Structure 1
Amino acid sequence: MQHEYADWQDLPVQKVRIHGYERAFVMTGSGPALLLIHGIGMNHRTWLPVIGQLSKNFTVIAPDLLGHGESDKPRADYSIAGYANAMRDLLLFLDIPSVTVVGHSLGGGVAMQFTYQFPQMVERLVLVSTGGLGRSVNPLIRAMTIPGSGPILALCSLQRIRRIVIPGLERLAATGIPGSHDIHDMIEVYEDMADAHSRAAFRQVLRAGADWRGQFVTMIDRAYLARYIPTMVVWGGRDLVIPVKHAYAAKELLPQARLEVFTNAGHVPHEDYPDRFAAALTEFIMDSPEAQYDHTAFQQVLRAGDRPRRKRVPRPREAKQATEERTTTN
């Protein structure tokens, strides 16, 4: 679907220079701080459908990660840990001591890493169709990590090629056939690839967390450290990028987590159902007291360790049945 941003299209983009690079972000509202981290190839605009409602109760900060949107796109550190450091630095620059951190896709991996590296700054954790919970990822994503894929991506990004490909993708999306649900979001990412700097940054980010076999950066071995943090997991039941079975894996790893599966949503549930997403997020924050970081307790848990039990990941049909049982159909 085409996403309408209404008046929030004109939300002013602010920029600050940190470590020599310009970092773009939008910031609005008042109240407890809410950090929204977008996914790969996207930018702060993915959150525009929900910022209006969220800013009624919260101070919303939505940055463009380095290499994305209006932030600089240098040859630099695009690792998950590097992005977590950047979020810490931005919040310190803005004099914001702690936040509820919300991450979508790649941003979910950044949110988890931020929680791991800076637990004293995290009040709550919200994971939206997040990476880092298993190997599975769309085959197209895996293909773009293969050596030699760079020139192919550059060729596909030529204007004369895009003039052919984009209308074809739009027609396919209009059919509504299975597999077409997330195409409009893919088109937005594809259009950004016309810029060589964006394209180079995209591949650097991608290869920092995945290869031809799938995702290799994971938080599974450290998830037990976040069990004291109020957590919500949101997923689209028709996600074609990272399958919904990862939502149930997250619930197993983080038993305290609130699970919300939007049955008919794709990889970007906050764009597909913005009102429902904003309401669910607001309710979760209002119902969940912020985490209180205790250094001694954290140290004791770390020393004790807690290897998570390996559980069988449900097959797609089982995951679909579980989705229907645990959620209401939109």
Structure 2
Amino acid sequence: MSGFVPWDSQSLDDWTRRHARGATIELAGYRTHYIEKGEGPPLILLHGFFYDTYLWAENIDALARHFKVYALDLWGCGYSTRDPMDYGYALYAEQLRLFMDAMGLAHASIAGQSMGAGTAIKFCVEHRDRVDRLVLVDAAGMPNPLPAMAKFFNLPGLGEFLLTRKTDLFRRMALKDLFIHDASRITDDYYANVVRAHKIAGSVTAGFGIQRADFFDKLSDEVRALGSLDVPVMLVWGRQDKAIPLHCAQQMHALLPGSRLEILDRAGHVANFEQADAFNRLAIDFLRESASARTQVAGPPTERGTPMPVA
């Protein structure tokens, strides 16, 4: 394993200079890395656990042809700060508010995946006037116990020991078993880009700080509150999602009158990657719907399957 860079070993400043694709900004004294691209109505992208802005690599260019896209690294992830924090949706919703204020964004549409989708829900319930539309991809929030692998790694000291070993085995295993349905999509290049920021010192501590805070599936009240608002919502789910199964999508969908549920075949927990073309079409069409459609009285939820082949 010649040339292997140890996990949790690189300084945030140096690794950011070498590898970050975007810019950084200080928010309340903490660094946030973000990518900014395109022109048009503002759209903010929020990644899920284990990932960073690279989660949207197959989506940003397509979306940026229609929107001013901002993709954030949530605190503890990517090239954002690793300082000890009280991780949870409240923290990330505050990070989002601070970012919008700093960018001069009075309102925006928000697309989030998994933990990022949960953050979008929390933010919208607290700041409805600042949200135009929501796209929730394999969203966390509904009751859903951690997968067995996550529980195993959560054992005190064990996860830290395994994830600092000089091996790619455990991170590749997590991608294959929890995140990506088609293992052939986990190329060496894809894997390297997903986990590159895990090399930053403090990443393992931050990752377990997030996971052990046990907040991912604790948004039932907020989902119900979201259902009482008039915000247009589209849920996009991978039919083969093993981390947050499809029944969670159906439960959330039922609590959101007027919402759409789009199910993508041959996709796991990162449906926006495995079925990027289908996701991009759905997101662009939904986000570009006329302003008059936003004010229509919500009807019953609608559910669609979208088995679109990969080109």
Task: Give the % identical residues.
Answer: 26
1:83 aligned partner: 92
Q: Is the 8 A contact 1:236 1:263 kept in 2?
A: yes
Please say if residues 124 and 290 of structure 1, whose CA atoms lie closer than 8 Å, have aligned partners that are also in contact. Answer: no
- Which one of 247, 252, 255 corresponds to residue 254 of structure 2? 252
Q: Equivalent residue of 1:17, what SS?
A: strand
Letter in structure 2 aligned against 1:154:
E
| Number of the residue aligned with 1:138 | 147
Unaligned runs of 5+ in 2: 1-18, 296-302
Matched with 1:65 is 74
Indicate the residue corresponding to 1:106 in structure 2: 115
Question: Cα gap change, 1:237/1:94 in structure 2, threshold over 3 Å: closer, same or farther?
Answer: same
Q: Name the TM-score, length of structure 1 as normaliser.
A: 0.75
Alignment CA distance shift 1:163-1:75 (3 Å): closer
Q: What TM-score do you get using the length of structure 2 for normalisation?
A: 0.79
Say yes or no: does 1:209 pair with 2:208: no
Given the alignment of the two structures, is residue 223 of structure 1 paired with residue 212 of structure 2, yes or no? no
Residue 283 (structure 2) aligns with: 281
Provide the secondary structure at the position in 1 that maps to 2:122: helix
In 2, Cα distance between equivalents of 1:284 and 1:32: 13
Question: Residue 47 of structure 1: which of 53, 56, 65 is its match?
Answer: 56
The Cα of 1:143 is off from its aligned counterpart by 3.5
Q: 1:111 to 1:283 in 2, by over 3 A?
A: same
Alpha-carbon distance, 1:163 to partner? 5.1
The answer as to whether partners of 2:121 and 2:223 remain within 8 angstroms in 1 is no
The offset of 1:180, in angstroms, is 5.3
In structure 2, distance between residues paired with 1:178 and 1:94 = 36
Quote how far apart the aligned CAs of 1:154 are: 1.9
Residue in 2 aligned with 1:238?
240
Kept in 2: contact 1:37–1:107 (CA 8 A): yes
Cα offset for 1:145?
3.9
SS of corresponding position for 2:273:
helix
1:328 aligns with 2:304: no
Deviation, 1:48, is: 1.5
Query: Does structure 1 retain, via aligned residues, the 8 Å contact 2:53–2:73?
Result: yes
The 3 A distance-change label for structure 1 pair 24 and 187 is: closer
CA distance in 2, matches of 1:194, 1:221: 38
Report the Cα offset of residue 193 of structure 1. Answer: 4.8
Task: Determine whether 1:156 maps to 2:162.
Answer: yes
C-alpha distance in 2, partners of 1:156/1:288? 50
**Does the 8 A contact of 2:109 with 2:134 survive in 1?**
yes
2:182 and 2:277 map into 1 onto residues whose CA distance is 24
Question: What residue is the counterpart of 2:15 in the other structure?
Answer: none
Matched, 1:36 2:45: yes
Alignment of 1:156-175 (within 5 A): 156-160=162-166, 162=167, 165=170, 169=173
Partner of 1:122: 131
Q: Distance in 2 between matches of 1:290 and 1:85?
A: 30
Deviation at 1:200, TM superposition (A): 1.1
Q: What corresponds to 2:104 in structure 1? A: 95
Q: Residue 32 of structure 2: SS of its match in structure 1?
A: strand
* CA deviation vs aligned residue, 1:77-122 (integer Å, no higher than 9, x gap): 3210110011010011010111111110000110000101111100
Structure 1 spans left out of the alignment, 5+ residues: 1-9, 294-322
Are the equivalent residues in 2 in contact too, given 1:157–1:194 (CA < 8 A)? no
**Equivalent position of 2:6 in the other structure:** none
Alpha-carbon deviation of 1:262? 0.3
Residues 30 and 56, structure 1, Cα contact 8 Å, conserved in 2: yes
| Superposition deviation, residue 284 in structure 1 | 0.5
Supply the distance in 2 between the matched residues of 1:273 and 1:155 (Cα, whole angstroms): 34
CA distance in 1, matches of 2:191, 2:219: 22
Q: CA deviation at 1:194?
A: 5.2
Partner of 1:300: none
- Contact map agreement 1:157 1:193 (CA 8 A) in 2: no
Tell me: CA distance 1:50–1:190, structure 2 relative to 1, closer, same or farther (3 Å).
Answer: closer
Is the 1:122–1:291 contact (alpha carbons within 8 Å) kept by the matching residues of 2? Answer: no
Give 3-state SS (helix, strand or coil) of 1:229's partner.
coil
2:238 and 2:264 in contact (8 A); partners too: yes
**1:26 corresponds to 2:32:** no
1:135/1:122 Cα in 2 relative to 1: closer, same or farther (>3 Å)?
Answer: same
Cα RMSD (Å) of the superposition?
A: 3.2
